[in-house]
Structure 1
């Protein structure tokens, strides 16, 4: 993977504008960190950029514009584009929050935490494994990280028969929830209900897979 910025094509420029609009981050004076920018904004912008475009078409300049910071700040915080990519494809922080409840409460906790993470991250913490437009090596790395950091970790939490199969099905349920919440915004029913109501309806099916022996 090259770490240098490539020339920006018209298609890349259009995607960069999309990323900037959805990131919603204003540039601070001098491109330094302000209350609405910084590391989280950079990661959020990078996550969207690496999902929407192949790795080779993503530029540090475009990510900086989307995050409202200077390119030099990204270099200072992350070093290279490859290092930033490796941060973006790390599912461990989300997995740590998702799987932090005891098994009897895990189904409801998963739904509520997914909704909370989406709000805090301004995007789904898992869906990029499905929608990444990277080349085969990038998609393979992303899916390998997902299996290791999400599915394998969940398998270790479960007990009883078919733990691996149940973990894969639960991961699919979480991806389905994220896709549904994304597809039906801003006017769908899911946009006008509470996280608790979503958990009332969606969590029992997940909990059945958690409890199955």
Structure 2
């Protein structure tokens, strides 16, 4: 096991403030892919893409929520080349990196800690979000918006870092959503997250009711 990447250590202390988060990722966008894929063995893009692709059609319209530099989009298109993929992210520089991947239909700047103003109810055949629901980023209430914009019967797939799952209220939130009849919990699996740092996450698959 290697020591945790210093930028990753800093990232979980951002406190959820959108301006702070935007500035942090602006300065990280150039080395983000190599830092995550090579240095820490970040596997959230693969596990979320696999979970979503098992549950949507070959031509589905899906949203990559918090798309960053487009790592999830690449994994989605590897598995289902005919998907239509939209992406949203808080940081323009990260969106530009996603644009260079040339796998997205549309990319937009959006703050996932509030209402996604430009997205109508029941728009997407599936939503995926990797690396967003973690310490110091978007809290559990951000899941509500993903549910709102997803069609009934469609999947919402997300990772929640272990250190945030119970401590930041995500486990309770998922339980409340199911108890309230808004979602069905299809899968909650303890999964690798940063394989070179021995950090894990919960892979959560919800079906919108």
User: Structure 1 length as normaliser, TM-score?
Assistant: 0.32
User: Structure 2 length as normaliser, TM-score?
Assistant: 0.32
Name the one with the larger strand percent. 2
User: Which protein shows a greater Rg?
Assistant: 1
